[in-house]
Amino acid sequence: MDIKELRKKDIKELQKILATDRAKLRESKFSSSNKQLKNIRQIRVLKKQIAKILTVINELKGAEKK
């Protein structure tokens, strides 16, 4: 997902996406350690996606405080 698409969503939707991405990351790490994951780059992509979501959530929380 692009950062522009993430900024259009509200905090609850972002938290749901964050939870699913974290679950995917956990599964990918387990698969990688068992040599079952063929696309290792998927872990890096998921980490970046999680970072984007957390950034947008923090921006929205900062905007609410002001």
Q: Which pLDDT tens digit goes with each residue over 14-44?
A: 999 999 999 999 999 999 888 888 888 999 9
- How many Cα atoms within 13 Å fall on the side-chain side of residue 58? 6
Q: What is the pLDDT of residue 1?
A: 81
Q: How confident is the model at residue 63 (pLDDT cuts 50, 70, 90)?
A: confident
Q: What is the pLDDT of residue 45?
A: 96
Angle (CA) 12 63 61, round 5°:
40
Q: What is the pLDDT of residue 66?
A: 73
The pTM assigned to this predicted structure is 0.89
Tally the domains of the chain.
1
**pLDDT of residue 46 exceeding 90:** yes
Domain span including residue 8: 3-65
The residue among 45, 55, 43 whose CA lies nearest residue 6 is: 55
